[in-house]
Amino acid sequence: MSERTLIDARGAFCPGPLMELIAALKAIEIGEEVEVLSSDKGSADDIPEWVAKVGHEMVGVEEKGDHWSVVVRRAK
Amino acid sequence: MSDKPLYILLVSGEREKLQMAAMTASVAAVSDRPTEVFVSMNAILSFKRGLPPEERYPEGGGFFAAQFAKASAKGGTPDAVDLLAQGRMLGGVKVWACAMVLDMLGWEDDDLTEDLFDGRLGLTKFLADAESGDLVSF
């Protein structure tokens, strides 16, 4: 299983969770993953768009009660 | 999203416009779109060095601005100046201060928010550069 960094961005509005994700991706190695917890629905929609645009890999998006878990693998 | 360079003229001192400009610039830049921001007129006042976040944005501006300020005060909304700094750090946003407005205010480069601006620039040069991309203003 890939190494995974957890970012708890619950309570932050767009584009806070995305910016936190990007900072975390820059700090890990290719193939490793970041899991972002976000209570912002817009970010749960936007992060996959961003991932597709820049060429990383979506592992999954899951709604967990009052927040979303978004997992991204660094691909480049 | 296009890869065409994005040029943002930021002139308003209204909080929601500063916020939207910072959001647009930072998200475009981290999405691999070359992005430059030219800060002039009232907008420059929010970039006075040393201003704490609670003093960066003017009061007033109507119903929405008041509601937005109230919601922002609760936390969770990224501060516009800090967001622009993040966009610069993570996505390479270039931020220029309008040379004319600095002269008008009698400000030097070190009167501006630290580590945010790439320098001072004239409008003519910015507009010439912007011919290669899309230009939006706030």
A47/B54: higher pLDDT: A47
Across the range B100-125, mean pLDDT stands at: 97
Q: Does B51 touch chain A (CB under 8 A)?
A: no
pLDDT tens digits, B5-59: 999 999 999 888 999 999 999 999 999 999 999 999 999 999 999 999 888 887 7
Residue of A19, A45, A47 best to disrupt the B interface, most CBs of B under 10 A: A19
What's the half-sphere exposure (Cβ side, CA atoms, 13 Å) at B39?
30
**DSSP at B48:** B
Count of all residues that appear for chain A in the document:
76
B35-39, strands of its sheet edge to edge = B119-121, B94-98, B35-39, B6-10, B134-137
**Cα separation, B116 vs B131, whole angstroms:** 24
The catalytic residue among A5, A8, A14, A22 is: A14
Could you tell me the domains of chain B?
A: 6-137 (3.40.1260.10)
> Which of A14, A16, A50 lies at the smallest CB-CB distance from B31?
A50
Q: Determine whether B106 is exposed, middle or buried from the number of CB atoms within 10 Å of its CB (0-12, 13-18, 19+).
A: exposed
pLDDT of B65 > 80? The answer is no
Q: What is the ipTM of this complex?
A: 0.87
CATH class of A4-73: alpha beta
What's the pLDDT band for B125 if we cut at 50, 70, 90? very high
Across the range B109-129, mean pLDDT stands at: 97
The answer to whether residues A25 and A50 touch, using CB atoms and an 8 Å cutoff, is no
Across the range B108-131, mean pLDDT stands at: 97
What are the DSSP calls for B114-138, one per residue?
TTT--EEE-HHHHHHHHTTSEEEE-
Decide if A16 and B90 are in contact by the 8 Å CB cutoff: no
- What are the backbone dihedrals phi and psi of residue B9, each rounded to the nearest 5 degrees, phi first? -95, 115
Decide if A19 and B32 are in contact by the 8 Å CB cutoff: no
Q: Does B75 touch chain A (CB under 8 A)?
A: yes
Task: Identify the closest residue of chain B to A52 by CA–CA distance.
Answer: B31
> Which of A14, A19, A54 lies at the smallest CB-CB distance from B86?
A19
User: What's the confidence (pLDDT) of residue B72?
Assistant: 73
The answer to whether residues B18 and B43 touch, using CB atoms and an 8 Å cutoff, is yes
Q: Is A14 a catalytic residue?
A: yes
